[in-house]
Structure 1
């Protein structure tokens, strides 16, 4: 199994966490999507990470599709560790919250921060590279606060974001937050419940490969790999 990813792509991080929880170690292939490599575009014309290529050659593009595929192929064998519940109402809630982070949080927080502070370092100027736009960064930093408050509000009545058990909702939220946390842009003082929840999830073995990531010229924030932050 191969996973085309980028280390700071939050959707790629979600898939890596899901595979880690399932005990699957794919071959990781780093992809800089702005380079528009023909071989990568042949796998997925959308040209976005992540893309999973299964052992039999089946190409599964996009985090939403990949997580559903993984549940179909391996979910039942996980028993009470299944990341997408069996109950229909519970599945709806997991999907709703996963979509919140994969789309809303992504658009408002993780995508602009990672684009401005990471991707633009490597992109040629004609493709949008260059210095970061500070107005965009300030807006994303403001947006993250109400997302943290929402996480804290959910956890006042639940053990995990979508219910009693950890699910794709938690992995999606943690994946996006982790990409921002590396950059030092998570105001953990905003909500204590959200901070406690994140400490729990980033202590899991599946999170260790993400916490070990570093980028040349941009070390992680001091709290990034600290389990007792």
Structure 2
């Protein structure tokens, strides 16, 4: 199994967490999507990470599609550790929250911060690189606050975001937040319940490879790998 990813692709991080929780260790192939590498485009014409390639040649593109594929193909073997619950209402709730973080949080917070502070540093100017757009960064930093409060509100009546146990909802949220946390842009004093939830998930073994990441010329914030932040 191979996973084409980028260290700061939020959807790639979600799938890496899921594979870790499922006990799978794929070969990781870093892909800079702005380079439009022909070999990668042959796998996925959309040219977006992540892309999962099975040993038998099956190619599964996109974070949400990969998550569904992993559940359909390997989820039953996980028993009560399954990342997409068996119950109809529970599955709807987990999918709703995955969409919240993969769409709403992404567009309002993690995408502008990662684009402006990370990708533009490495992209050539003709591909969109250049200095960061500070108004976009300030807007994203403001937007994250109500997302943290929403996480805290959910956890008032649940053990995890999607219910009583860890699910794809938690992995999606943690994947996006981890990118922002690397950059030092999460105001952890905003909601103590959200902070405790993130400390729990970041302490899991599946999270360790993400905490070991470090981009050349851009070290992580001091709290990023600290389990007692």
**Length-normalised TM-score, structure 2:** 0.99
Q: In structure 2, what is the equivalent of residue 38 of structure 1?
A: 38
Separation of aligned partners in 2, 1:75 and 1:55: 18
Gaps spanning 5+ residues in structure 1: where? Answer: none
Unmatched tracts of structure 2, length 5 or more: none
Looking at structure 2, the residues matched to 117 and 200 of structure 1 have their Cα atoms a distance apart, in angstroms, of 27
1:131 corresponds in structure 2 to: 131
CA distance, structure 2, for counterparts of residue 56 and residue 101 of structure 1: 32
Report what 2:95 is aligned to.
95
> In structure 2, the residue corresponding to 1:138 is in which secondary structure?
helix
**2:67 equivalent in structure 1:** 67
Corresponding residue number in structure 2 for 1:185? 185
- What SS does the corresponding residue of 1:189 show, helix, strand or coil? coil
Work out the CA distance in 2 between the residues paired with 1:123 and 1:2: 25
Cα offset for 1:76? 0.6
Secondary structure class of the residue paired with 1:4: strand
Measured in 1, the distance between the counterparts of 2:48 and 2:111 equals 13
SS of the residue 1:130 aligns to: coil
What do residues 4-35 of structure 1 show as CA deviations (whole Å, max 9, x unaligned)?
Answer: 00000000000000000000000000000000
Per the TM alignment, residue 127 of structure 1 is displaced from its structure 2 partner at its CA by 1.1
User: In the alignment, which residue of structure 2 is the partner of 1:84?
Assistant: 84
Q: What is aligned with 2:150? A: 150
SS in 1 for 2:185: coil
Residue matched to 1:16: 16
For 1:177 and 1:50, the matched residues in 2 are separated by 17
Secondary structure of 1:190 counterpart: coil
CA distance, structure 2, for counterparts of residue 147 and residue 92 of structure 1: 20
Confirm or deny that 1:212 pairs with 2:212. yes
Separation in structure 2 between the aligned mates of residue 135 and residue 62 of structure 1, nearest angstrom = 29
**Secondary structure at the counterpart of residue 3 of structure 1:** strand
Name the SS of the counterpart of 1:143 in structure 2.
helix
Partner of 1:115: 115
Pairwise CA distance, 1:151: 0.2
Paired with 2:101 and 2:54, the residues of 1 have a C-alpha distance of: 25
Q: Which runs of 4+ in 1 moved over 2 A?
A: none
